[in-house]
Amino acid sequence: MSFEQCQYVTSLMAKFNKTWFIAGGWAIDLFMEKETREHKDIEIAIYRKDQLNLKTYLRELDFRKVIKSEFHNWENEFLELPIHEIHATNKSNGDKIEVLLNESKDNDWEFRRDLRICSPLNSVWSYSETGIPYLNPEIVLLYKAKNTREKDHQDFITVKDHLDNKKRQWLKSALELHEPEHKWIQFLI
């Protein structure tokens, strides 16, 4: 996969009239404006309130919700927490997209794992120079802090020195609140 995959998803989502953005490792690379590591999949994030709009918009795709690491058919029910992951497959060509549901309340994004952590909606995502929306790196890294894998640590090392002071402080405060023993905190001083 390369940025062409991100561009493909951007084309696919072009007429979706709700907020969406690339998430995960690809969001880190879009922020960095270069591919920093190999990616095996692509994830997009939307606000939970928009899930049924997305299902209608991408009605030609086959959707499955993930419950306790198992895939189940997703009919048309509104998915509530703890469900936050949906997989969509294009049956004609096999293309796959993982959709991550994000919480929002009033004008704030809320971290689903700890609702004390929030950020104004307009500060959660940005656009790449080529117009691809992506989840800001400090939020991607907060999600990656749980059960940190090598690729997650690699993403942190790649991006940490490129975060402005506001983003660094936000991530540090969020980690201190949610994962106070996490090894990344020492690098955000």
CB atoms within 10 A of CB 125: 20
Above 80 in pLDDT, residue 8? yes
Amino acid at 101: L
The pLDDT score that the predictor gives to residue 5 is: 87
Residue 87 C-alpha from the chain's centroid:
13
Q: Tokens standing for 70? A: 């198992």
Above 60 in pLDDT, residue 25? yes
Above 60 in pLDDT, residue 81? yes
> What is the domain partition of the chain in residue ranges?
3-138
- The tens digit of pLDDT for each residue in 41-75 reads 999 999 999 999 999 999 999 999 999 999 999 99
The pLDDT score that the predictor gives to residue 2 is: 60
The pLDDT score that the predictor gives to residue 1 is: 43
Dist CA 31 CA 33 (whole Å): 5
Please give the model's pTM, rounded to 2 decimal places: 0.93
Above 90 in pLDDT, residue 4? no
Burial 136-169 (b: 16+ CB within 10 A, else e): bbbbbbbbbbeebeebbeebbebbbeebeeebbe
End-to-end CA distance of the chain: 34
- The tens digit of pLDDT for each residue in 27-46 reads 999 999 999 999 989 999 99
Q: What is the CATH architecture assignment of 3-138?
A: 2-Layer Sandwich (3.30)
- The tens digit of pLDDT for each residue in 85-136 reads 999 999 888 889 999 999 999 999 999 999 999 999 999 999 999 999 999 9
Residue-averaged pLDDT of the chain: 95
Residues 6+ apart with CB under 8 A from 142: 111, 117, 171, 174, 175, 178
